[in-house]
Structure 1
């Protein structure tokens, strides 16, 4: 009896055999339900199926959503946007440009921004457009106050969007430390509020650059012979925006050499057409050869009428010259008619003044002029 009890205790205290453990393991595996892995958030598929992105867009955008574990936050964002008038196209465009919008808190971030922006008169599509342009800057606490400032400054919603499209960082600029002081500085240059706004629409970096840079640009413009009170001062200031001094000097030297201008003549030319500083060297070379060698204009003449160089070579200068030459060659126009006077009018006025009166004498002139505007030289415009 004692031997039997000892044997039983020994068996109970000894570790179970491998075969017994394996048996219990197989038994539990056979009877227990299978355990599924915890579901994750398939960002790429979600962006395609729910947000309307293309597969390539979704692959790119999903990298910014890899931390999401579920669709709860994106679902809330999409529901909020739909309730604010976002179309499927608005959602797709916005999310493609700024995927992290789907990570925003509705109550703490999106709702206050939308309330403020709609209060400024922006529609749902306007806000969608804004988000797609400025991206993460939309989540700034100051976004509403900054949009309000720029709407007043630029004068219209469309002007604001033109500017912010050119510089998506516009809403990140510090209004009190940078933007407002620069506007005040530009106004000191005898530019009124409207002129400052117009310049900053196309050159929004003027609002955030260092004041010393603006002062340097003003000195540069004055050095080119454009006084502050000149009607061309704003255009000249825009033309030299962010030009390095050495680059400016090189461009002025190039103009002098290309058009055979003296120091005085290049100043006259730039005071009338400062945008020449922005024209490519290839274009200017082509114009110089055409106006001096073919048309026969003197360098001093071109300098005094430098606006000629702001027009399209193919669409204006070249075809009108050939019309003028044709009319003179056929005795239909006074030989002393000035070339410059044919360049200034709009196309409609040019046709009415120089082509329509000669329909009977030159029935093909209108057709030949249109052909020349396309870059082809009609046979009747060829002279030997």
Structure 2
């Protein structure tokens, strides 16, 4: 097109001499028309393959996600292989949403050879007794491992450990590292350590499986820390401690312990709390600071009291502790609550029981109490509760 435009411009600016082409000189538009007709015979280069457009139009990705995924596929020059891969995945039974997930998590799958790689994986998994529908459920979860020859061997081992395909699927869904990590170097040694200390995976919750793919040294350190805190081996708390500590990096673990001490906790306080609830060690710094400030400054609790009831620092301030504390102050301020209730007992009961005991009996005495409390529990603040308090309040809270 650039050459065409230059040619047209040249003809218009420098028309042929009159002797050679009097008609053209007399009618420059006719000359332009003939030039355009002659250029139509020149072959036009095909439009280059646009990976990002293909990901949006054929794979169902959003433009933003396609832009990120396309960076690793810039070498693709044709849709032929990606088309074959998409047809294969669709034929296997994956939905459009599943296919989009596969492409996002493993963009290189679009470069895989269908017959040499993908068909081979399906044949291998089928030989393990998996149906095509089970394989279709597995593919989006195993990501790039679907292209690896080791997938069948890994899955065979996991099936023996967890007992069923559905159980394996749950484990992989909660922790991709279980299928991506080395069976010999990571998974087997870690399971050996857990079994040595009486920790079984039969009734683990999803987060617990994160420890299986952690470096073995981290798991060994986690066991050591749990023992140092005096947590009894073979108990559910010991299992929780080992899993929690193994997921944390050593630097994070040490930093969090130091933070508790900076906030006024003694080693005895910390040991008592961790023995009861090991996962307090994994709390985010800002949340721990806010919880301790609220419980000690606003509610007026002592650290030894909190250490023996560590669930207090795990509850949401905004949605649970603050609304309940303010409501109790409202009842006291209006002279309706004579008993001095223990704060832990107020915090730990279910919301239904709290309503029955501290809200429903007083809605007639304090109009709007129920709505104000319900609003405060949604995170909208406690302003409505503040308005309802008529007596002398504790200004640190309400």
TM-score where L is the length of structure 1: 0.76
Shift, 1:268, TM fit: 0.8
The aligned residue for residue 383 of structure 2 is: 377
Q: Secondary structure at the match of 2:202?
A: helix
The aligned residue for residue 320 of structure 1 is: 324
Residues 158, 343 of structure 1: CA spacing in aligned structure 2 closer, same or farther, 3 A cutoff? farther
Range with bigger deviation, 121-130 or 172-181? 121-130
User: 177, 187, 192: which is aligned to 1:179?
Assistant: 187
1:286 aligns with 2:290: yes
Question: In the alignment, is the contact (CA less than 8 A) between 2:141 and 2:176 conserved in 1?
Answer: no
The aligned residue for residue 242 of structure 2 is: 237
Range with bigger deviation, 304-313 or 80-89? 80-89
User: 232, 248, 269: which is aligned to 1:265?
Assistant: 269
Question: In the alignment, is the contact (CA less than 8 A) between 1:41 and 1:69 conserved in 2?
Answer: yes
Question: In the alignment, is the contact (CA less than 8 A) between 1:43 and 1:62 conserved in 2?
Answer: yes
Range with bigger deviation, 330-339 or 238-247? 238-247
User: 89, 93, 96: which is aligned to 1:88?
Assistant: 96
The aligned residue for residue 202 of structure 1 is: 207
Residues 48, 274 of structure 1: CA spacing in aligned structure 2 closer, same or farther, 3 A cutoff? closer
What do the CA deviations read for 1:163-187 (whole angstroms, capped 9, x no partner)? 5456544323222332122112112
Q: Which aligned pairs between 1:146-225 and structure 2 lie closer than 5 A?
A: 146-150=154-158, 153=161, 160=168, 164=172, 167-194=175-202, 197-198=204-205, 201-202=206-207, 204=209, 206-225=211-230
1:126 aligns with 2:130: no
Residues 203, 287 of structure 1: CA spacing in aligned structure 2 closer, same or farther, 3 A cutoff? same
Question: In the alignment, is the contact (CA less than 8 A) between 1:322 and 1:381 conserved in 2?
Answer: no
Q: Structure 1 unaligned runs (5+)? A: 1-29
1:300 aligns with 2:323: no
Shift, 1:341, TM fit: 0.9
1:256 aligns with 2:266: no
What do the CA deviations read for 1:250-293 (whole angstroms, capped 9, x no partner)? 433432342x3332222112211222212233322322232223
Shift, 1:314, TM fit: 1.0
Q: Secondary structure at the match of 2:236?
A: coil
Q: Secondary structure at the match of 2:233?
A: coil
Structure index of larger Rg:
1
Residues 365, 191 of structure 1: CA spacing in aligned structure 2 closer, same or farther, 3 A cutoff? same
Shift, 1:313, TM fit: 1.0
Question: In the alignment, is the contact (CA less than 8 A) between 2:248 and 2:282 conserved in 1?
Answer: no
Residues 231, 329 of structure 1: CA spacing in aligned structure 2 closer, same or farther, 3 A cutoff? farther
Question: In the alignment, is the contact (CA less than 8 A) between 1:190 and 1:229 conserved in 2?
Answer: yes
Question: In the alignment, is the contact (CA less than 8 A) between 2:222 and 2:243 conserved in 1?
Answer: no
Residues 207, 71 of structure 1: CA spacing in aligned structure 2 closer, same or farther, 3 A cutoff? same
Aligned pairs, how many? 346
Range with bigger deviation, 339-348 or 291-300? 291-300
Q: Whole-Å Cα distance in 2 between the matches of residues 96 and 75 of structure 1?
A: 16
Question: In the alignment, is the contact (CA less than 8 A) between 1:117 and 1:127 conserved in 2?
Answer: no
Shift, 1:114, TM fit: 3.2
Range with bigger deviation, 81-90 or 163-172? 163-172
CA RMSD of aligned residues (A): 3.4
Q: Whole-Å Cα distance in 2 between the matches of residues 157 and 323 of structure 1?
A: 50
What do the CA deviations read for 1:33-86 (whole angstroms, capped 9, x no partner)? 978879975544544443344455445444544545544333322222222223
Q: Whole-Å Cα distance in 2 between the matches of residues 209 and 246 of structure 1?
A: 15
Q: Whole-Å Cα distance in 1 between the matches of residues 372 and 239 of structure 2?
A: 39
Q: Structure 2 unaligned runs (5+)? A: 1-37, 394-398
